C-alpha cells in the first residue's frame, strides 16, 4: 500500500526522470537501439490499430453497396470478403507488433532493474555500522526487492501502457475531429476526461479500503497464530471461548472490509460503464442523425462505434494501472531514499593509504558516545607498542568492544585521536586501515557456504594448501578431517551447524590467512568452556606472536601474559599494569581475579564429579556453547 503518502504527478515525473539514465544506458548502444525500435513498433502498432475500424467501415459500406471501391483502394482490397480478411489481418499484425515491442523492451527494463539493484547493494555496504544496527536487514532487502519490482511496474505501466494509451487517445481524437467534426472530438475528450477523473477518485477511495482489509487480515492472522502458540496457556485457563471471540472480532472487521472491497469494485465498474455508456450514446446519436440526414454512411456509424469500443479496452485497465503505478512509485521512492542516505564515516577528501610499518596503536584522550546523551568513553589513553600485546578487561558494558569498533573506524570519535603508526586513522583510507587489522569477534557469524569458503574469506586468493595450513594453526584441521565432506561441508545459515568453539576457530583460521600486522581479539574465548578455551588460546598465542595485539577479555586467565593490562570501568581506565603488578595492588583487578579463580575451581570440581558419575559423556555430546 502507498504508506499514507500521496503520490503526485510531479513525483511520477521525478521518478521517470530518475529512471531515465537506466532506460537509456550510456555505453549500451544495443539497449538504446532496442528502445528506439520498441518506440517505432509502438507507433506503428497504434497506426495499424486505427486501421482496424476503417476496414470495418469499408466492409460495411461494401456490403451495403454504398462504396465504389474501384480506384480508391488497391485491387486486393476490392470486395467485402477481402476487406473482412484485411480487417482481421490488421488486428493480428497489431497484436504481433505489440508482442515484439514488449519483448524488445523486456531486456531494457530488466537491465535497469539489475543496475539499480547492484547500485543499491553496493551502497548498503558503504553505509555505516550504525545505519545497519538501526535497520532490520530483512527490512532492507525487502526495500530493494520491492523497489526493483516497482521499476518493472512503472516501466510496464507507464512506458508500455499509459503512454501508448495516450497516443491512441490523441490519434482517435484527431481522426474524429478531422473526419467528423469538432463535436465528436469534444464528446470523446470529455468522456475520457470524466472517465479518468472518476477512476482516480474511486481508486483512491478503494486503496484506503484495501488497506483496512489488509490490516485486519494481518491482525486476525497474528491473533490466530499467537493463540495457537499459547495452546497450553489457553487450556490452563480454559479460555478457548474468549480466544475464539477475540479472533472472530478481527475476522468481523476483515469480513466488512473485504465486502467493501468487492462492493466498491462494483461501484467503480458501474460508474465507469455509465460514463462511457453516456459518451458512446451521445456519439452514436450524433452519427445516427448524420446517417439519416445522408451526411454519413452506415459504415461511418459502425466506424464510430468500433473506434469507441477499441478505446474502451485500455481505459478499462486504468484503475488497475493507476493503483499499480502508485504502489510502484512508493516502492521506488523508498529505494531512491535509501540510495540518498549518506555514509556516516567517510574518507577524508585527501585520504592516503595507511603507511603501515609495525602497527603501533595509540589512543590519546579519546572521548566517544554513540548517543550524545550518554558518554561511553571518557578520556581513554593507551598505547600498544609494535608487536606487543595489551589486554583490556573490565565489567560488561564498560566500553571494551567500543575500543575495537573505534580502531576499525566504524564510528568517528568526538575528541582525542586514534592513530596507527603515528597516522591519525581519520586521515587514511578506511580500506587500507581495515586491511591492516584482523579481528576475531566474540560471536562469529559464518557465511552459509562451505568450511573452505569461510576460511578462504580471509584472503580469497589463497591456495588450498594455504587454507589447510591456516586451519592447522587455528587447531581446527583435525575437526575438519572428521567431517564427512571435509572442507566442502556446508556450515548452514550463519554457521549454525558448527558449535561456538568450531566457528571461533574458523574465524581464527581466516584471520591467519589475512595475516594482518594488527590483531584484535574481542572476547574471542569467553563463550566457551574451559577445555575448548585452552585449545583456542593455544591457537591465538601462535597467531598473535610478533603482531601488535589488542586483547579484550572477560576471562582473566587468558591475559596473564599480556605486556600491559588495562582495567576499564564505566568508560574510564581504573587500573593498569602487568598481571603481577595489578595483583599486588590488590584493587579491582585483584578482586576480579580472585572471584574468577573461585568460579573456575568450582567448575573444575564439578567436572571431576561428573566424570566420575559418567555424566561427562552426556555433557561432551552437547554443543560446546
Ligand atoms: N551501537 C550502539 N548504540 C548505542 N549504544 C551502544 C552501542 N553499542 C554499544 N552501546 C553501549 O555502549 C556501552 C559499551 O558497550 P561495549 O563497548 O560493547 O561494552 P563491552 O565493554 O561489554 O564490550 C554499553 O553500555 C552499550 O549499551
Ligand atoms: Mg564487548
pLDDT for 25-54, tens place per residue?
888 888 888 888 888 888 888 888 888 888
Beta-carbon-side half-sphere exposure of residue 375 (alpha carbons within 13 Å): 12
Which pLDDT does position 16 carry in this prediction?
A: 79
Q: Cα separations (Å) of 481 from 464, 476, 477?
A: 14, 9, 6
Angle, vertex CA 341, rays to CA 340 and CA 343, nearest 5: 125
Residues by chain with Cβ below 5 Å of ion ligand 2:
401
Query: Does 371 contact ligand 1 (Cβ within 6 A)?
Result: yes
Ligand 1 atom with the shortest distance to the CA of 522: 23
Ligand 1 atom with the shortest distance to the CA of 399: 17
Which pLDDT does position 618 carry in this prediction?
A: 44
Q: Give the domains, in start order, of the chain with CATH numbers.
A: 2-340 (1.20.1560.10), 361-585 (3.40.50.300)
Please tell me the distance between residue 396's alpha carbon and the centre of ligand 2 in angstroms. Answer: 7
CA distance 392 to 571: 12
- 8-state DSSP, 382: E
Which pLDDT does position 329 carry in this prediction?
A: 86
CA distance 618 to 625: 14
Please tell me the distance between residue 422's alpha carbon and the centre of ligand 1 in angstroms. Answer: 27
Residue pLDDT, tens place only, 454-513: 999 999 999 999 999 999 888 888 889 998 898 999 888 777 778 888 888 899 899 999
> Does the predicted TM-score (pTM) go above 0.85?
no
Ligand 1 atom with the shortest distance to the CA of 405: 17
N residues, the chain: 625
Angle, vertex CA 276, rays to CA 270 and CA 279, nearest 5: 140
Angle, vertex CA 575, rays to CA 570 and CA 579, nearest 5: 125
- 8-state DSSP, 206: H
Residue 617, exposed/middle/buried by CB under 10 A (0-12, 13-18, 19+)?
exposed
SS3 371: strand
Atom 16 of ligand 1, residue of closest alpha carbon: 399
Neighbours of 550 (CB within 10 A): 27
CA distance 121 to 137: 12
Pairing of strands 518-522, 437-440: parallel
Q: Give the three cell numbers for residue 565.
A: 593490562
Atom 25 of ligand 1, residue of closest alpha carbon: 397
State phi, psi for 25 to the nearest 5 degrees. -70, 130
- 8-state DSSP, 551: E
Residue pLDDT, tens place only, 337-386: 888 888 888 999 999 999 988 899 999 999 999 999 999 999 999 999 99
SS3 350: coil
Which pLDDT does position 3 carry in this prediction?
A: 40
Cβ–Cβ < 8 Å for 151, 332: yes
Residue bearing the bigger pLDDT, 620 or 519: 519
Please tell me the distance between residue 397's alpha carbon and the centre of ligand 1 in angstroms. Answer: 6
Residue pLDDT, tens place only, 71-122: 555 554 556 677 778 888 888 988 898 888 888 888 888 888 888 889 988 9
CA distance 368 to 409: 12
Q: Give the three cell numbers for residue 377.
A: 568513553
Query: Does 241 contact ligand 1 (Cβ within 6 A)?
Result: no
Query: Does 402 contact ligand 1 (Cβ within 6 A)?
Result: yes
Please tell me the distance between residue 402's alpha carbon and the centre of ligand 1 in angstroms. Answer: 6
Contacts of 174 (CB under 8 A, 6+ apart): none
Question: How remote is the C-alpha of 133 from its chain's centroid?
Answer: 15
Q: Which of 397, 408, 410, 573 to mutate to test the pocket of ligand 1 (most atoms within 8 A of CB)?
A: 397
Cβ–Cβ < 8 Å for 511, 439: yes
Residue pLDDT, tens place only, 52-67: 888 888 888 877 776 6
Q: Which of 398, 404, 573 to mutate to test the pocket of ligand 1 (most atoms within 8 A of CB)?
A: 398
Which pLDDT does position 623 carry in this prediction?
A: 43
Q: Give the three cell numbers for residue 369.
A: 558516545
For residue 405, name the pLDDT band (cuts at 50, 70, 90). Answer: very high
Contacts of 318 (CB under 8 A, 6+ apart): 165, 195, 196, 199
Query: Does 448 contact ligand 1 (Cβ within 6 A)?
Result: no
| Per-residue H/E/C for 556-605 | HHHCCCCCEEEEEECCEEEEEECHHHHHHHCCHHHHHHHHHHHHHHHHHH
Q: Which of 345, 370, 410 to mutate to test the pocket of ligand 1 (most atoms within 8 A of CB)?
A: 370
CA distance 59 to 86: 9
Cβ–Cβ < 8 Å for 405, 380: no
Helix ranges (H only) for 483-587 are 500-514, 530-544, 579-585
Atom 6 of ligand 1, residue of closest alpha carbon: 370
Atom 7 of ligand 1, residue of closest alpha carbon: 370
Query: Does 398 contact ligand 1 (Cβ within 6 A)?
Result: yes
Amino acid at each position: 500500500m502507498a504508506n499514507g503518502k500521496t503520490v503526485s504527478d510531479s513525483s511520477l515525473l521525478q521518478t521517470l526522470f530518475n529512471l531515465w539514465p537506466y532506460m537509456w544506458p550510456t555505453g549500451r548502444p544495443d539497449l538504446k537501439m532496442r528502445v528506439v525500435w520498441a518506440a517505432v513498433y509502438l507507433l506503428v502498432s497504434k497506426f495499424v490499430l486505427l486501421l482496424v475500424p476503417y476496414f470495418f467501415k469499408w466492409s460495411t459500406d461494401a456490403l451495403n453497396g454504398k462504396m465504389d471501391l474501384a480506384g480508391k483502394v488497391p485491387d486486393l482490397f476490392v470486395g467485402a470478403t477481402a476487406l473482412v480478411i484485411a480487417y482481421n489481418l490488421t488486428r493480428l499484425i497489431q497484436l504481433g507488433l505489440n508482442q515484439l515491442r514488449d519483448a524488445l523492451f523486456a531486456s531494457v527494463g530488466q537491465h535497469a532493474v539489475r543496475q539499480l539493484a547492484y547500485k543499491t547493494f553496493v551502497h548498503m555496504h558503504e553505509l555505516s555500522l550504525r545505519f545497519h544496527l538501526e535497520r532490520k536487514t530483512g527490512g532492507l532487502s525487502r526495500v530493494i526487492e520491492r523497489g526493483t519490482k516497482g521499476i518493472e511496474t512503472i516501466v510496464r505501466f507507464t512506458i508500455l501502457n499509459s503512454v501508448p494509451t495516450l497516443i491512441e487517445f490523441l490519434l482517435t481524437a484527431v481522426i474524429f475531429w478531422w473526419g467528423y467534426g469538432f463535436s465528436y472530438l469534444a464528446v470523446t475528450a470529455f468522456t475520457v476526461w470524466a472517465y479518468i477523473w472518476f477512476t482516480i477518485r474511486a481508486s483512491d477511495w478503494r486503496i484506503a479500503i484495501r488497506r483496512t482489509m489488509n490490516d485486519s487480515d494481518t491482525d486476525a492472522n497474528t491473533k490466530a497464530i499467537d493463540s495457537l502458540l499459547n495452546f497450553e496457556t489457553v487450556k490452563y485457563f480454559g479460555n478457548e471461548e474468549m480466544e475464539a471471540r477475540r479472533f472472530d472480532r478481527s475476522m468481523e472487521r476483515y469480513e466488512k472490509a473485504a465486502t467493501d472491497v468487492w462492493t466498491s469494485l462494483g461501484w467503480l465498474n458501474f460508474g465507469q460503464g455509465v460514463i462511457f455508456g453516456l459518451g458512446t450514446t451521445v456519439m452514436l446519436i450524433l452519427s445516427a442523425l448524420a446517417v439519416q440526414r445522408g451526411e454519413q454512411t452506415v459504415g461511418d456509424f459502425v466506424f464510430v462505434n468500433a473506434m469507441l469500443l477499441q478505446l474502451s479496452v485500455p481505459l478499462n485497465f486504468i484503475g488497475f494501472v493507476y493503483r499499480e503505478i502508485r504502489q510502484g512509485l512508493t516502492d521506488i521512492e523508498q529505494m531512491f531514499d535509501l540510495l540518498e542516505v549518506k555514509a556516516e564515516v567517510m574518507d577524508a577528501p585527501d585520504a592516503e593509504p595507511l603507511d603501515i610499518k609495525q602497527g603501533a596503536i595509540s589512543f590519546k584522550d579519546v572521548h566517544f558516545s554513540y548517543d550524545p546523551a550518554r558518554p561511553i568513553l571518557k578520556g581513554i589513553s593507551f598505547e600498544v607498542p609494535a608487536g606487543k600485546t595489551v589486554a583490556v578487561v573490565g565489567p560488561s558494558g564498560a566500553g571494551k568492544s567500543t575500543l575495537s569498533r573505534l580502531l576499525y573506524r566504524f564510528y568517528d570519535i568526538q575528541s582525542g585521536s586514534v592513530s596507527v603508526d603515528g597516522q591519525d586513522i581519520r586521515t587514511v583510507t578506511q580500506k587500507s586501515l581495515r586491511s591492516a587489522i584482523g579481528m576475531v569477534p566474540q560471536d562469529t557469524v559464518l557465511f552459509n557456504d562451505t568450511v573452505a569458503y569461510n576460511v578462504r574469506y580471509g584472503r580469497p586468493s589463497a591456495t588450498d594448501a594455504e587454507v589447510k595450513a591456516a586451519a592447522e594453526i587455528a587447531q581446527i584441521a583435525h575437526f575438519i578431517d572428521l567431517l564427512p565432506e571435509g572442507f566442502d561441508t556446508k556450515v548452514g545459515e550463519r554457521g549454525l551447524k558448527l558449535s561456538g568453539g568450531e566457528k571461533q576457530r574458523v574465524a581464527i583460521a581466516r584471520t591467519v590467512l589475512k595475516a594482518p600486522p594488527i590483531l584484535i581479539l574481542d572476547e574471542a574465548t569467553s563463550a566457551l568452556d574451559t577445555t575448548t578455551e585452552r585449545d583456542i588460546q593455544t591457537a591465538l598465542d601462535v597467531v598473535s606472536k610478533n603482531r601488535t595485539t589488542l586483547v579484550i577479555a572477560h576471562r582473566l586467565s587468558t591475559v596473564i601474559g599480556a605486556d600491559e593490562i588495562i582495567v576499564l570501568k564505566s568508560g574510564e581506565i581504573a587500573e593498569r599494569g602487568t598481571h603481577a603488578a595489578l595483583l599486588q595492588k590488590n584493587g579491582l583487578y585483584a578482586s576480579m581475579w580472585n572471584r574468577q579463580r573461585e568460579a573456575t575451581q568450582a567448575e573444575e570440581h564439578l567436572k571431576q564429579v561428573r566424570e566420575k558419575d559418567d555424566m561427562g559423556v552426556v555433557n561432551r555430546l552437547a554443543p560446546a556453547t
